[in-house]
Amino acid sequence: MGFLELSEEQIMVRDMARDFARNELTPHSERWDRDGWIDDSVIAQMGDLGLMGMVVPEEWGGANVDYVSYALAVEEISAGDGAVGAMMSIHNSVGCGPILKYGSEEQKKTWLGELASGRSVGCFCLTEPQAGSEANNLKTRAVLKDGKWVLNGSKQFVSNGKRAALAIVFAVTDPELGKKGISAFLVPTNTPGFIVNRVEKKLGIRGSDTCAITLDQCEIPESNLLGPRGKGLAIALSNLEGGRIGIAAQALGIARAAFESALRYSKERIQFGVPLIEHQSVAGFLADMQTQINAARLLILQAASMRERNVPCISEASQAKLFASEMAEAVCSKAIQIYGGYGYLEDYPVERHYRDARITQIYEGTSEVQRLVIARVLKETDF
């Protein structure tokens, strides 16, 4: 199957996600943005629809769809609400993904069904106050003592941190080994010593909780080590392709929502006796916006198709995220311009879309990091 050609199953997944987003997400987006919280009932509904364990095999309770279907679904959910798209993408990629790839049979049995059903949400605790893109500069420590791992340290910018029932935590187990001394752990968030210090107040995606976490003498069983000891950095980096495809799709969905809103407004708003869309400058804006949206989608579907076929696609995933995230801010900015002064008000959704889009250039690797990745691959490529 060429990546431009959608199968019946992919179309069905896309249309299901689109209907759900329009009926169950968009009507509540303004309230979730204001309250800083997504209704728990929505997460349960998403679990019932298979949206919380999309690439998890059916034997572990997942929907077992391909990565193209996953990307299409994230786009639709994000068009309905950018914050829900963030929660869903992070949960699927770095919540379920590492357990699916590195978890023991017992760990999969214990957690994947819970995560895929939406009964539990996952979070990913890698970033620290002093270690963002420099993931190997961790100060969180894990010490094995009397058959238990004892974790101490701080984590920053943890998406789903307050909502999550399970955290994948990265900590240094062997300091003398440098980046080969980092390990990954499964930490239930109700474990004593796992402390949500604060929920951050953010520019956008406010319904998705982002937290600062402290680990204070947090004890977990020795069996909660995820994957081999010392392979934590490899585990953290192993899902870069899937994570970046997901964030690219989120950016695309936010941009598309802003574009569709601006298009409707341009046909309804009368200026100088004609609808806005009849003015050449506005029509040019809209033409550019749609072109950029469609170009981003093609990059995303190409990367997703390669990922599904197990073809290495770190450059393609980075290209998709880089282009889609920067496109989203530009498209949302033009949407505000089309609305004029009204676009700057909270009364209209384009103001929220603009705020929601900005983060997509930062998390899952900044735009600067994406350019470094793409350039590194170019250096190793012979044409």
Average pLDDT of the chain is: 96
Is 24 known to be catalytic?
no
Predicted pLDDT of residue 13: 98
pLDDT digits (tens, 9 = 90+) for 37-85: 999 999 999 999 999 999 999 999 999 999 999 999 999 999 999 999 9
Q: What is the mean pLDDT of residues 336-355?
A: 97
157: left (phi over 0), alpha (psi -120 to 50) or beta: left
Classified as helix, coil or strand, 304 is helix
Structure tokens at 231: 């392979």
Predicted pLDDT of residue 132: 73
Smallest Cα–Cα separation from 68: which of 22, 5, 19? 5
State the amino acid at position 195 in one-letter form: I
Q: Report the alpha-carbon distance of residue 201 to residue 182 in Å, rounded.
A: 30
Is 8-120 assigned to CATH 1.10.10.10? no
Q: Report the alpha-carbon distance of residue 213 to residue 210 in Å, rounded.
A: 10
Q: Could you give the percent of the chain with pLDDT greater than 90? A: 95
Q: Is the pLDDT of residue 263 over 50?
A: yes
Classified as helix, coil or strand, 192 is coil
Confidence bin at 341 (pLDDT 50/70/90): very high
pLDDT digits (tens, 9 = 90+) for 119-178: 999 999 999 998 877 777 899 999 999 999 999 999 999 999 999 999 999 999 999 999
Confidence bin at 315 (pLDDT 50/70/90): very high
Q: Is the pLDDT of residue 257 over 50?
A: yes
The helix or strand, by DSSP H or E, that contains position 217, with its residue range, turns out to be strand 210-221
What secondary structure letter does DSSP report for 50? T
CATH architecture label of 238-380: Up-down Bundle (1.20)
Residue of 59, 346, 364, 380 marked catalytic: 364
Q: Answer yes or no: are the C-beta atoms of 90 and 123 closer than 8 Å.
A: yes
On the question of a common fold for 123-229 and 238-380, the answer reads no
CA 223 to chain CA mean position, Å = 28
Classified as helix, coil or strand, 149 is strand
Q: Which CATH number fits domain 123-229: 3.40.50.2000, 3.40.50.980, 2.40.110.10, 1.10.10.60?
A: 2.40.110.10
Predicted pLDDT of residue 213: 98
Q: Answer yes or no: are the C-beta atoms of 107 and 151 closer than 8 Å.
A: no
Predicted pLDDT of residue 2: 44
Q: Answer yes or no: are the C-beta atoms of 115 and 166 closer than 8 Å.
A: yes
Q: Answer yes or no: are the C-beta atoms of 233 and 179 closer than 8 Å.
A: yes
CA 192 to chain CA mean position, Å = 28
Which residue has 């379920």 as its token pair? 96
Delimit the domains of the chain by residue range. Answer: 8-120, 123-229, 238-380
